[in-house]
Amino acid sequence: MTDLQWPELIIFSTLFLLVTVLGFVAARWKAGDTLDHLDEWGLGGRKFGSWITWFLIGGDLYTAYTFVAVPALLFGAGAMGFFALPYTILAYPLVFLPLLRLWSVSRARGYVTPADFVRGRYGSPLLATLIAVTGIVATMPYIALQLVGLEAVLRTMGFNAGGFLGHLPLLIAFIILAVYTYQSGLRAPALIAFVKDLLVYIVIIVAVIYLPIKLGGWDSIFGAAQEKFAATDAESDGILLNGNNQLQYATLALGSALALFLYPHSVTGVLASRGRNVLKRNMSALPAYSLLLGLLALLGFAAIAAGTEAITNQATGNPDTNTIVPKLFDDQFPSWFAGIAFAAIGIGALVPAAIMSIAAANLWTRNIYKEFIKRDATPKEEARQAKLSSLIVKFGAVACILFLDPQFSIDLQLIGGVIILQTLPAVAIALYTRWLHRWGLVAGWIIGMGWGMTLLYGIPNPATGREHFGGAALALDKLNIFGWQPFAGSTVQIYVGIVALLANLLVAAVVSVIARQLKVSNGTDTTVDADYHVDEGDEDLRPVAAPH
């Protein structure tokens, strides 16, 4: 704490103060008649246009963890870190049509969460609850990871003490975030996202022009990376993929693309938009962020060429690889520009953390509190419950950082992707057909989740000494189906999430056939075909903030 970087800290604090003011002002921005309704507090009045939706979804998906971890992954493992680039390119065409249908049916029926849709589609409280709990559990480590990114910046600026004192700046930042999110709801991160994206674009564009010039060009940067990886024993490291990790790369990219818009915070950003045309324009234009992400990822190789070293976490005594990018900016740029870069990363943590906490709060309120605790809750009581639960979610994520090694929280993100993929049959496929029976979906969820967790439990991480949950890359040799090993001896790796999802779909299909043969009830579908095509301006469209 004695080596505070005061120029960076002053600039960081000034920009942080600016977004704090914006967070409180947001309560009056595009305000409806009241914030005491989930449509208004949790979805911003469902009236965000193209530009606001662009920044909101971009701020939602491209987080502080992305800015910190993707370059750090390239720094440590090489080409595998580029999986983030194809998956963000794949995601938008994959979800283009399903998201339009989800927006329409949600607008027609007043749904606030994906679990609301499942409840209406199948009339099954059990299935809806499984989807809601899955969303909350998968979101919690994602929020914690935003704190990892923010802490990496704070540590670089000198806040690197062990114990509670070292976490105090982080706690203060999240108390401020909690207060203005409680007051303004989704409007706060939507407004702040403008500032966040502006800072990020400036920082990345300057970095990818300035750093190659300073470090001798991209030839020199890639040469330094190749030299580093050639000196390691790890077969998976390098600036090119190899035979063992190509399948993992492809399945990880595909699985991540399928999972991206299943996360509750992604759905929240979509449902807050004004209409289908807004989503069409955004799904067409959002791949531009992938260009930014590709440039950002290359900073990992630039850090190798610059000889950047991770800062040692005083709490654990181990190097914190998440500090690679902040340390690169601290070493290579003037203090004033490093302060701007730190603010971009820090604010990049606050925007998605706010949206994620709101999304988790909406799930709790609509699909657990109202379903099982107080079925006659008024819209005002729902809004109050969501506000309170959003505080609990935020500080639950802070507790993860306070009481767990941050490296463990990063490992949890790998688990989060496997978890949220298990909601694909009940949410994405159900937007088109009810052929999969509700009991098939429940059985598929149980098998997919159980097998996915079992496989993850058996994966070690020799680099960190972890025996379990050490990653999401599974050697095909470890696939064991009731004693049968179809790929015995193979060292080729695959993403666990895809394996678990395939098991989920297979079981769901088999149980659905059996249930239909036995004529088991498939619940009541309260939606109609016309609901999946409604748009803003349609006659008899359900008013925003109408009683649910």
123 SS3 class? coil
548 SS3 class? coil
The residue type of 312 is T
The CATH number covering residue 119 comes to 1.20.1730.10
pTM of the model: 0.92
Residue 335 pLDDT more than 90?
Answer: yes
Angle at 112 between CA 106 and CA 113, to 5 degrees: 100
Domain count along the chain: 1
Residues facing residue 311 across a β-bridge: 320
Query: In terms of residues, how long is the chain?
Result: 548
| Contact criterion met (CB below 8 Å) for 422 and 448 | yes
Residue 367 lies in a domain: yes
Range picked from 61-70, 288-297, 381-390, 465-474 for highest mean pLDDT: 381-390
pLDDT bin (cut points 50, 70, 90) of residue 448 is very high
Residue 192 lies in a domain: yes
Angle between helices 324-332 and 64-77 (to 10 degrees): 90
For the stretch 2-15, pLDDT in tens is 577 888 999 999 99
Residue-number span of the structural domain to which 11 is assigned: 6-420
**Residue-level pLDDT at 130:** 97
Residue 412 pLDDT more than 70?
Answer: no
In order of 43, 268, 280, 532, the CA distances from 39 in angstroms are 5, 11, 22, 19
Residue 454 lies in a domain: no
Residue 530 lies in a domain: no
Residue 249 lies in a domain: yes
Residue 487 lies in a domain: no
Residue 458 lies in a domain: no
